[in-house]
Amino acid sequence: MGELAAFLILSAVILIPGVIVVTSRNIVRSALSLVPTFLGVTGFYIMLQAEFVAGIQVLIYAGAITVLILFVIMLTEGGSGVEVRQANEQVPLGATAALWLAFLMLLVVLRTPWSLSPGRPPAYSASAIGSAFLTNYALIFEVTSLVLLVVLIGAIVIARREE
Amino acid sequence: MSTFVEILKAIGLAVLVFTFLAIVGAMYGVYFERKISGWIQARIGPKHVGPWGLLQTIADTLKLLQKEHITPRSADAMIFNTAPIIVAVAGLLDWVVIPFGTAFGRVLVVRDINIGIVYFSAMASLTVIGILAAGWSSNNKYALLGGLRSASQMISYEIPLALALLWAAMLAGTLSTVGIIEAQRGGWFLFKVPPFGLIAALVFLTAATAEVNRMPFDLPEAESELVAGYFVEYTGMRFALFQLGEYAEMFAMAAVASILFLGGWLEPSMPQWVWALLGLGALALAAFIRFSALREVLLVRPILALAALAAVLCGLMVLGIGLGRTPVLPSMLWFFVKMFGLVFFLMWMRWTYPRLRLDQLLGLSWKVLLPVGLLNLLITGFLLTVAR
């Protein structure tokens, strides 16, 4: 009962600002509306007993990504950033794609046999996540760091050209 | 039923922590700041309202409560009014994972969660959203500049801060704040794997000072350049909420530094004669100041009070060890001694060093603290693995 109530409240916390993100004409408000959305997702992680992921979610998404987005908006728009058109003439195309995606996801959700097992989640996840990254998922982990390195170099190249 | 009790408990603890911090953290934080700045600048500081000016901050708060809330006409009213609340709440939420001590066999902490220090740095990183929102929504160029400076500064210093937190977590083998303190029963992390504990503590304190926007890293609110920075348009209690958030976070940073490196609520375990020696030294210093002409000097007078307090503390320790009590003094006292010692250190820094330039500030983070923090982590990890 409590879990259902928490799920419904968190869904509202995620969805209402989510709608504002895509509809608001003020781009700073859109960016700020991302914060409650991210925090709501954190609530879901906590409900699933993934505390470590929840902490990282707040730290990285709410605390860093949003700030980065705001930072970029304020630097590029000369600080104002008001009145930006969010949609262009490709609305029908985008709507079709979104509908298809929603249809496919619904199909996946409905077709998947969600098996319920009485097992318990691991008690403490941080060290398990760490060893998984350096053993089973070492390749993915390393490739991700390579991608980040490429991004860093790209940013430096772009910044240098302007000088 | 238990859910109901749990919710009531959470509300009660939230009220307790928030009111305690609103009073001690912000009001007396401001009082100490003014007294200490007075000391460093050879002044007396507030002294008219109440004994030793103790009620000065209460008078100031009452004054701020009566002031009108002004929302600038071209400001984004909704964001403008929300921003101070974000800053204050994020600053106060840090305190959920900070243990104050032990009593009746229980640890006095709101919640000992197994990701304690991750939670702490996550909450500390939320403050910047409030600051950016305040800077942007004020529609004032100084406020915006302050907000932008704050964003770049806090993002840069979050990384060395996290590296120093990781260092302590690596040594303790846990992310829980209570676990980290328990791991220091053998000795403070400050002196573990010398000199790397000291380096980690220095990195943490530097990054923490920058993270709470204090001198010498207070560029977001540099008075001489930006008037007041991101809160220049705020009046009355909203302005006070920014102060509250700032002081709550500063106290939290000092508390976490004492937890990570100074053993939190644990009593320093030193032999009786060391305590006796320290106490006698403090007593001698106090007596020398009291019975010489130095007690008239404004710069020296506070040292008399501090030395007398230290002598009393050491005397109690000598007495307690002599009587054979194992934890001589209550654990909460030790936590507050360490925390206020670090708060004092931060205030001392503030009134001693001049402000850095923005490029020096970012250079310090990316070119000094980040490599030092990473190398520190790497070498300590290597040494620990080899030792095992």
- CB-based contact, B114 to chain A, within 8 Å: yes
The string of pLDDT tens digits covering residues A12-21 is 989 998 888 8
∠ CA B108-B113-B118 to the nearest 5 degrees?
115
Inter-axis angle of helices A66-76 and B141-172, nearest 10: 150
Chain B residue numbers touching A64 (CB-CB < 8 A)? 125, 155, 158
Q: Which of B3, B144, B154 has its CB closest to that of A74?
A: B144
Contact between chains at B122 and A58 (C-beta distance less than 8 A):
yes
Give chain B's end-to-end CA distance (angstroms, integer): 48
Chain B residue numbers touching A28 (CB-CB < 8 A)? 76, 79, 136-137
Q: DSSP string spanning B138-158?
A: TT-HHHHHHHHHHHHHHHHHH
- CB-based contact, B154 to chain A, within 8 Å: yes
The string of pLDDT tens digits covering residues A115-129 is 777 777 666 667 778
Question: What is the average pLDDT score of chain B?
Answer: 81
For residue A80, the model assigns a pLDDT of 58
What pTM was computed for the model?
A: 0.83
* Closest to B231 (Cα-Cα) out of B21, B365, B88: B88
Chain B residue numbers touching A71 (CB-CB < 8 A)? 132, 148, 151-152, 155
User: Computed over its alpha carbons, how large is the radius of gyration of chain A?
Assistant: 20
For residue B27, the model assigns a pLDDT of 76
For residue B24, the model assigns a pLDDT of 67
Contact between chains at A32 and B133 (C-beta distance less than 8 A):
yes
- CB-based contact, A52 to chain B, within 8 Å: yes
Contact between chains at A71 and B152 (C-beta distance less than 8 A):
yes
Chain B residue numbers touching A62 (CB-CB < 8 A)? 122, 125-126, 129
Measured in degrees and rounded to the nearest 5, phi and psi for residue B112 equal: -95, 90
ipTM of predicted complex: 0.78
Please say whether the beta carbons of A67 and B150 come within 8 A: no
For residue A149, the model assigns a pLDDT of 93
For residue A132, the model assigns a pLDDT of 83
For chain A, give percent helix, strand, coil, nearest 5: 75, 0, 25
- CB-based contact, B385 to chain A, within 8 Å: no
For residue A82, the model assigns a pLDDT of 60
Helix H segments across chain B? Answer: 2-20, 29-40, 56-66, 77-93, 116-137, 141-172, 177-182, 196-211, 223-226, 236-261, 272-290, 301-323, 331-350, 358-363, 370-387
Question: What is the average pLDDT score of chain A?
Answer: 83
∠ CA B287-B293-B294 to the nearest 5 degrees?
70
Contact between chains at A28 and B115 (C-beta distance less than 8 A):
no
Which CA distances in Å does B269 have to B185, B232, B327?
9, 48, 9
More confident residue, A134 or B322: A134
Contact between chains at B155 and A67 (C-beta distance less than 8 A):
yes
> In angstroms, rounded to a whole number, what is the distance separating the alpha carbons of residues B179 and B109?
12
The string of pLDDT tens digits covering residues B214-258 is 767 776 666 667 777 778 778 878 888 888 888 888 888 888 888
The string of pLDDT tens digits covering residues A54-105 is 888 888 888 888 888 887 777 775 555 566 666 777 888 988 999 999 999 9
- The stretch B44-49 carries a mean pLDDT of 79
Contact between chains at B129 and A32 (C-beta distance less than 8 A):
yes
The string of pLDDT tens digits covering residues B69-98 is 878 887 778 888 888 888 888 888 888 888
Is pLDDT of B64 > 70?
Answer: yes
Please, which residues have CB within 8 angstroms of residue B31's CB and are 6 or more apart in sequence?
A: B46, B53, B54, B56, B57
Is pLDDT of A163 > 60?
Answer: no
* Closest to A125 (Cα-Cα) out of B115, B43, B311: B115
For residue B23, the model assigns a pLDDT of 66
Which CA distances in Å does B181 have to A62, B71, B101, B252, B327?
29, 45, 10, 16, 15
Residue A70: strand, helix, or coil: helix
